[in-house]
Amino acid sequence: MRPISLRAHSAALLLATTTVAAALTAGLATAPAHAQSAPFQPEVLASGLSNPWAVAFIDNGRMLVTERPGRLRVVEPQGPDRSGPYRIGEPIEGVPPVAAGGQGGLLDVVPDSQFAQNRRIYLCYSEPEAGGSGNSTALATAVLSADARRLEQVQVLFSQKPKVASRQHFGCRIVEAPDGHLFLTLGDRGSRMEDAQDLGNHIGKVVRIRKDGSVPPDNPFVGRAGAQPEIWSYGHRNAQGATWGPDNRLWLHEHGPQGGDEINRPEASKNYGWPVITYGERYGGGAVTTGITQKAGMEQPLHQWTPSIAPSGMVFLTSDRYGAEWKNHLFVGSLKFRHLARLEVKDGRVVREERLLENLRERIRDVRQGPDGLLYVLTDSGNGQIIRLAPR
């Protein structure tokens, strides 16, 4: 294992954050309001990661972190009481081959809800085409060895169809529902956006499978001619954030084109509109298709950002470690504007937004709640960091 560098953070990193307040209707963004002090101090736990994409907590204060080039590592605290400096382990052996390049590589990682008993994890990554130039989003499961140095019993549970020669829009967030089913977000691959409306493929979809890779019989398109049975919802662009909400529902956000990033709660069989309806436009200007934002039979977003913030990572805070007023608020990272968005949600609607961590000037790739009830963020760069938001 190799040591990490730790960066001291002074009171200068106690952030003045920009709050945003609005009375919202569906699909309308919030507007800026006054600033206030954040109830935390950022603490850098680890640095020197190569474009990390996801962080997940396993045992004894340890974390699994993916690096987009194709490496999975353990990051752990040192010392007899596990409270010393963190260190980054060597790459774990046995990771499936990945098509690393562009937005592709080793992306999400999630431990099984019974990890303490079975040591099982789930990985999402861009899977190369055997003998070809294409790739697709794939979901694999494996058992982490007792010494956490290798993956065993690796099994691919799902591969997106068709494979496409593209380096864009993999989606690739995994959520385990309380009933044990797995949800996986799948991007439109950039060049295949029209396929997001076609149930005959997995492009621009959310899929739902069992932990053995089989299809739940109550999936909405099981038995429908010409439809892929794994599909849960469709009409999505590129969802790089997903989480289970306190309302016992799946939540996700997805990148819009130029504007029109969305938050949605995907429901079985529903169509979320891409690329027919969107609040964004083509890069450089102009309508994506017909330029409409609403159409019968297509769902409106619960919230949208224009201009785009390029969202990534998503979690509801279920603890009161930062005060009761933040409990059940939604946290979303911004790659473009380099902040962490705190969203107050009432009755399924975003009613207030606040920007945190702006002074860090880091692309926020992932945000998770740790077993200690605190928030942890992952920054996306060649010197990626794990940062804990310590209450003050």
Task: Give the Cα separation of 202 and 236 in Å (integer).
Answer: 11
- What pLDDT, on a 0 to 100 scale, did the predictor assign at position 36? 58
Give per-residue pLDDT as tens, 241-282: 999 999 999 999 999 999 999 999 999 999 999 999 999 999
- What pLDDT, on a 0 to 100 scale, did the predictor assign at position 81? 86
Give per-residue pLDDT as tens, 44-77: 999 999 999 999 999 999 999 999 999 999 999 9
Residues 6+ apart with CB under 8 A from 71: 50, 91, 92, 95, 106
pTM of the predicted model as reported, rounded to 2 decimal places: 0.91
- Edge-to-edge strands, sheet with 16-21: 31-37, 16-21, 349-356, 339-346, 330-334, 311-316
- What pLDDT, on a 0 to 100 scale, did the predictor assign at position 28? 41
Task: Give the Cα separation of 246 and 129 in Å (integer).
Answer: 38
Active site includes 253? no
Give per-residue pLDDT as tens, 125-149: 999 999 999 999 999 999 999 999 9
Place of tokens 């950002």: 305
Give the CA distances from residue 109 to residues 18, 120, 143, 258, in Å, rounded to whole numbers and listed in that order: 31, 11, 12, 28
- Edge-to-edge strands, sheet with 151-159: 106-111, 120-128, 135-144, 151-159
Give per-residue pLDDT as tens, 181-228: 999 999 999 999 999 999 999 999 999 999 999 999 999 999 999 999
The residues facing 184 across adjacent strands are 174, 207
Give per-residue pLDDT as tens, 326-371: 999 999 999 999 999 999 999 989 999 999 999 999 999 999 999 9
The residues spanned by each domain of the chain are 2-391
- CATH classification (class only), 2-391: mainly beta
Catalytic residue among 34, 169, 202, 329: 169
Provide the sign of the torsion angle of the four alpha carbons 81, 111, 203, 205, taken in this order.
Answer: negative
Give the CA distances from residue 360 to residues 17, 129, 207, in Å, rounded to whole numbers and listed in that order: 11, 39, 35
Task: Give the Cα separation of 384 and 240 in Å (integer).
Answer: 18
